[in-house]
Amino acid sequence: MALDQKIAFLGGGNMAEALIKGMLAAGIAKPDRILVSDVSTERLEHLNKTYRIVVQRSNKDAAAQADIILLCVKPQIIDVVLSKIEPVADKEKLVISIAAG
């Protein structure tokens, strides 16, 4: 059964894509409930075309719309990402870090 919550992946690299692919294949989430943000327009286009998920350039906008936020960025930029989403990451949201290192 698919989750009703919206899930935002902040960072659309290989780790995020593997999780997205697995969640969709397992029926855990539907494409319209998954958002991904990334600095690379090409990467966002690939993810949208391949999985039909919602893509955005802004981490803050993606986080604002989500119930669950997955931090899929490199450890050296996690502080920057957290500072950008702080205004919208309230205590009702689940934040999970899979920061690669």
pLDDT digits (tens, 9 = 90+) for 4-41: 999 999 999 999 999 999 999 999 999 999 999 999 99
Topology adopted by domain 7-97: Rossmann fold (3.40.50)
User: Cα-flanking dihedrals φ and ψ of residue 69, to 5°?
Assistant: -120, 125
Reported in sequence order, the residue ranges of 11-56 that DSSP labels E, i.e. its strands, are 34-37, 54-56
Computed over its alpha carbons, how large is the radius of gyration of the chain?
A: 12
Q: What is the pTM of this model?
A: 0.94
Q: Is 75 exposed, middle or buried (0-12, 13-18, 19+ CB in 10 A)?
A: exposed
> Each residue of 72-98: pLDDT tens digit?
999 999 999 999 999 999 999 999 999
Cα 43 to the chain's mean position, in Å?
Answer: 13
